[in-house]
């Protein structure tokens, strides 16, 4: 059985999910488990398991599969403790599965408030759970943190994490647990909120501390000295009325020796730097890595990757702790490849920048000044100073988005799900921006504007490409790269078997040789894979598990580009082992009808007004120019009955199906204009079927 097996047996005999800080810190002593989101507190996502290697990975076969309840975006990293998998699907449904067989042990549905589905930003996704001393913890899109009994899946306690229910706060990230405190951030910066991260007692759910990531009312004393410092980097009060943003919606890492918790903060609300802060100041702590004391929530240091962020270049992307040999000296570093296109290596004790180089195409800055730690802005991306559309590289999904990267200490390489992504931004000062209204994006800028013409949409779709990038963080250079047809591929896992595992947007699960990127194995996933895989042991065998399910920000907002991936949503868990011989069950996709639209009675001017209203208020879920990526209904395909009751649907008739009510938010005139535009797009769709190969019609 060996050491790993004996430890697992002893633990399993006591209490399910009996994890504490000591077990996580000593995770390498029981490599068959995956006890925290990044496996270890340093979030390297590297497994010492090597039963599966580059020499035998071709023998991987399906061991089992499990169908999830909702065919929406699946972003969870599973937790595996003593042979049991704890994971989530869409709408924060929690599953406990037998790691060897896939048998369901229990399921918990938090019954998220479907009337708030329009406030979830980027699909009804959830990035997974945390476990601690016999409990499982999950955050919900409607803002609750829930503790479950790991044996039964029954709720133990629930905490409301939202400070202001008049704003569109949500949770999509996975909790982390340090010293008995469950730590969770919130999302919602696009909707106009003030960012913060909170710690709760794991036993009772009582709040231990809260750290605000942007200042409060500038006319009043701030809650903490660091916010008093930060408020001086903002100008005016528009940002405060809007909320400020800076939400800590995803990545964290923890150093037990330094007792520092690292959080990544997000974009501003509004994006538009001129409207938000009169184009002045760094606007702390937007788009920053912030080190805090996990016991008290006290600020220690920060490093801001994108001062005055005006493009949604968040620093919420995955952070990795490692000890690297730099200039002949071992340095304790934190590494990040945030959206802005630069790979950062930072001293994790002090926050001092060590190095930063471009890992993706960038035009907003020429370099990072190593003396000051600040970017050297080019001015090319300063849309608030220009007329017309301004091309920005990388755009709002960045050179790398939330999908986790991994670090292999044996190869010394970081494996990044890279994007090549550029979009236009346009300052439109005459537009009546929505402020402080739930459900609505509040960006202050027109982004990713496209013509209805399929050729224009296809041009953009084909220009957004992805890759798996192997990056040397010491030399700050590419070692190898595998190209993909589109962005938004899955997170990565690296192992001691000299392997890198990744799922792809075009519906595959793949293994590469870690040293040179040679593809050694792949298998169909039936849908896009955006989550990061994990590996573990059960009954002496090594398994690799992929969470499969197309969704998230890219397929909902950029439907035309998403369709170019050639997949549709189908959510399931796929688990592989050497010699696995299970047969992949067939996926069942509903037909896509093209109903006859009603007569168009609107003028061309009204249709164009409707387009602006639609893209301003509806595109974050139903796609730019009403081209859905398949995650939510394609509104070009409304039935005759749905056209007849369109206004009622917008005003709440389908709330319990996840379509929120906009009654009292959108006027009757706005609803009519949006409907006029959708009728036009329905006729466009009928015409486009003459060219079935176009990605915008599939």
User: What average pLDDT score do residues 427-433 get?
Assistant: 64
Is the peptide bond preceding residue 270 cis, with omega within 30 degrees of 0? yes
Q: Which string of DSSP letters, residue by residue, matches 545-559?
A: EEEE---SHHHHH-H
Distance CA 189, CA 616 (A): 16
Residues 6+ apart with CB under 8 A from 453: none
Residues 55 and 52: their CA atoms lie apart, in Å, by 8
Place of tokens 């730590």: 183
What secondary structure does DSSP assign to 331-387, as a single string? EEEEEE--TTSEEEEEETTT--EEEEEESS---SEEEE-TTT--EEE-STT-GGGSS
Predicted confidence at residue 253, as pLDDT, reads 98
H helix intervals, 551-662: 553-557, 559-563, 604-617, 619-622, 640-644, 646-648
Per-residue pLDDT tens over the stretch 404-418: 999 999 999 999 999
Q: How far apart are CA 305 and CA 375, in angstroms?
A: 8
Mean pLDDT (whole number) for 276-284: 97
- For helices 668-688 and 604-617, angle between their N-to-C axes, nearest 10 degrees: 100
Structure tokens at 395: 């755009």
- Answer for the pair 263, 252: CB distance below 8 angstroms, yes or no: yes
Of all residues in the chain, the percent with pLDDT exceeding 90 is 82
Of 172-176, 189-193, 245-249, the poorest mean pLDDT is in 189-193
Cβ atoms of residues 439 and 360 within 8 Å? no
pLDDT at res. 9: 39
The region of weakest confidence among 135-144, 451-460, 648-657 is 451-460
> Annotated binding residues for heme c, as ranges?
618, 621-622, 659
Q: Which residue has the tokens 């164009």?
A: 608
Please tell me the predicted confidence (pLDDT) of residue 3: 37
Token pair in block for residue 467: 């890759």
pLDDT band at 185; cut points 50, 70, 90: very high
pLDDT band at 447 (very low <50, low <70, confident <90, very high): confident
Phi/psi at 117 (5° precision): -60, -30
Using pLDDT thresholds of 50, 70 and 90, give the confidence band for residue 49. Answer: very high
Token pair of 419, please? 């994007």
User: What are the DSSP calls for 102-158, one per residue?
Assistant: --EEEEE-----GGGGGGSSSSS-----EEETTEEEEE-TTSEEEEEETTT--EEEE
Across the range 627-640, mean pLDDT stands at 93
Q: In the predicted model, is pLDDT for residue 20 greater than 50?
A: yes
Rounded Cα distance, 527 and 504, in Å? 9
CB-based contacts of 146, cutoff 8 Å, min separation 6: 108, 110, 137, 138, 139, 140, 155, 157, 158, 159
- The structure tokens listed for 205 are 């759910």
Q: In which band, very low, low, confident or very high, does the pLDDT at 693 lie, cut at 50, 70 and 90?
A: low
Of 18, 42, 82, 312, which one is the catalytic site residue? 312
Burial 108-134 (b: 16+ CB within 10 A, else e): bebebebbbbbbbbbbbbbbbbbbbeb
Within 13 Å of residue 198, how many CA atoms lie on the same side as its CB? Answer: 21
Beta bridge partners of 178: 181
> Which pLDDT tens digit goes with each residue over 226-279?
999 999 999 999 999 989 999 999 999 999 999 999 999 999 999 999 999 999
Asked if residue 696 has pLDDT above 90, the reply is: no
Tens digits of residue pLDDT in 347-384: 999 999 999 999 999 999 999 999 999 999 999 999 99
| pLDDT given for residue 366 in this prediction | 98
Distance CA 273, CA 283 (A): 9
Question: 6 pLDDT exceeds 50?
Answer: no
> Catalytic residue at 312?
yes
pLDDT for res 475: 98
Q: What residues are designated binding site? A: 75, 127, 188-190, 247, 267, 312, 339, 618, 621-622, 659
User: pLDDT category, 2, cuts 50, 70, 90?
Assistant: very low
Tell me the backbone φ, ψ of residue 325, rounded to 5 degrees: -80, 110
Upstream peptide bond of 413 is cis (omega within 30 degrees of 0): no
Task: Say yes or no to pLDDT of 645 above 80.
Answer: yes
> Out of 109-113, 501-505, 658-662, which region has the weakest mean confidence (pLDDT)?
658-662
Question: Count of residues for the chain?
Answer: 698
The C-alpha atoms of residue 179 and residue 160 are separated, in whole angstroms, by 21
- Residue ranges of the annotated binding site for pyrroloquinoline quinone are 75, 127, 188-189, 247, 339
Provide the β-strand partners of residue 176: 183
Percent helix, percent strand, percent coil in the chain, to nearest 5: 20, 30, 50
For residue 7, the model assigns a pLDDT of 42
| 472 pLDDT higher than 80 | yes
Distance between CA atoms of 626 and 557, rounded to whole angstroms?
9
Domains annotated for the chain, with CATH where assigned, are: 34-578 (2.140.10.10), 604-690 (1.10.760.10)
Q: Which residues are annotated as a binding site for Ca(2+)?
A: 190, 267, 312
């Amino acid at each position: 059985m060996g050491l790993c097996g004996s430890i697992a047996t002893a633990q399993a005999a006591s209490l399910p999910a009996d994890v504490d800080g000591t077990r996580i810190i000593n995770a390498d002593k029981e490599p068959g488990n995956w006890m925290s989101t990044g496996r270890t507190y340093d979030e390297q996502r590297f497994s010492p398991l090597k039963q599966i290697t580059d020499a035998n990975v071709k023998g991987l076969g399906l061991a089992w599969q499990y169908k999830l309840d909702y065919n929406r975006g699946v972003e969870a990293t599973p937790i595996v403790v003593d042979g049991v998998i704890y994971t989530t699907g869409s709408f924060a449904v929690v599953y406990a599965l037998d790691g060897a067989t896939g048998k369901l042990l229990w399921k918990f549905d938090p019954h998220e408030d479907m009337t708030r589905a329009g406030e979830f930003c980027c699909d009804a996704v959830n990035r997974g759970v945390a476990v601690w001393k016999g409990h499982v913890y999950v955050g919900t899109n409607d803002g609750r943190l829930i503790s479950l009994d790991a044996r039964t899946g029954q709720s133990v306690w629930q905490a409301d994490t939202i400070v202001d229910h008049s704003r569109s706060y949500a949770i999509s990230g996975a909790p982390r647990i340090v010293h008995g405190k469950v730590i969770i951030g919130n999302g919602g910066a696009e909707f106009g909120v003030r960012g913060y991260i909170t710690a709760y007692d794991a036993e009772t759910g009582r709040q231990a501390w809260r750290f605000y990531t942007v200042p409060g009312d500038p006319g009043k004393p701030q809650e903490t000295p660091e916010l008093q410092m930060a408020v001086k980097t903002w100008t005016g009060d528009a940002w405060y009325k809007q909320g400020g943003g800076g939400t800590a919606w995803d990545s964290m890492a923890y150093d037990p020796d330094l007792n520092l918790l690292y959080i990544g903060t997000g974009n501003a609300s509004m994006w538009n730097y001129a409207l938000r802060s009169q184009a002045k100041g760094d606007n702390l702590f937007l788009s920053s890595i912030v080190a805090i004391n996990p016991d008290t929530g006290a600020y220690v240091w920060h490093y801001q990757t994108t001062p005055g962020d005006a493009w949604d270049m968040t620093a919420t992307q995955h952070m990795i702790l490692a000890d690297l040999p730099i200039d002949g000296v071992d340095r304790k570093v934190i590494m990040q490849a945030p959206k802005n296109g630069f790979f950062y290596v930072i001293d994790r004790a002090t926050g001092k920048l060590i190095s930063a180089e471009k890992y993706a195409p960038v035009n907003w800055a020429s370099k990072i000044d190593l003396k000051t730690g600040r970017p050297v802005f080019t001015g090319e991306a300063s849309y608030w100073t220009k007329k017309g559309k301004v091309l920005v590289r990388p755009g709002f999904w960045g050179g790398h988005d939330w999908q986790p990267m991994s670090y292999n200490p044996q190869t010394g390489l970081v494996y990044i799900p890279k994007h090549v992504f550029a979009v236009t931004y346009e300052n439109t000062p005459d537009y009546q921006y929505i402020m402080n209204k739930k459900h609505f994006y509040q960006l202050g800028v027109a982004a990713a504007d496209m013509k209805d013409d399929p050729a224009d949409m296809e041009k953009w779709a084909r220009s957004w490409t992805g890759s798996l990038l192997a990056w040397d963080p010491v030399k700050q250079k590419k070692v190898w790269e595998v190209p993909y047809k589109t962005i938004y591929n899955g997170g990565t896992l690296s192992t001691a078997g000299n392997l890198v595992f990744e799922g792809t947007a075009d519906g595959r699960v793949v293994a590469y040789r870690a040293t040179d990127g040679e593809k050694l194995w792949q298998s169909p996933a039936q849908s896009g894979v955006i989550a990061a895989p994990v590996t573990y042991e059960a009954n002496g065998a090594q398994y690799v598990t992929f969470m499969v399910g197309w969704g998230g920000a890219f397929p909902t907002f950029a439907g035309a580009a998403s369709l170019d991936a050639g997949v549709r949503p189908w959510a399931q868990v796929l688990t592989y082992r050497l010699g696995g011989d299970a047969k992949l069950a067939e996926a069942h996709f509903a037909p896509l009808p093209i109903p006859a639209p009603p007569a168009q009675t609107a003028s061309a001017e009204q249709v164009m007004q409707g387009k602006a209203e639609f893209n301003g208020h509806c595109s974050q879920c139903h796609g730019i120019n009403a081209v859905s990526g398949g995650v939510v209904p394609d509104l070009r395909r409304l039935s005759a009955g749905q056209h007849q009751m369109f206004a009622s649907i917008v005003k709440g008739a389908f709330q319990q199906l996840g379509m929120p009510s906009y009654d009292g938010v959108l006027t009757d005139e706005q609803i009519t204009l949006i409907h006029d535009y959708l009728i036009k797009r329905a006729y466009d769709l009928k015409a486009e079927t003459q060219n079935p190969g176009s990605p915008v019609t599939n």
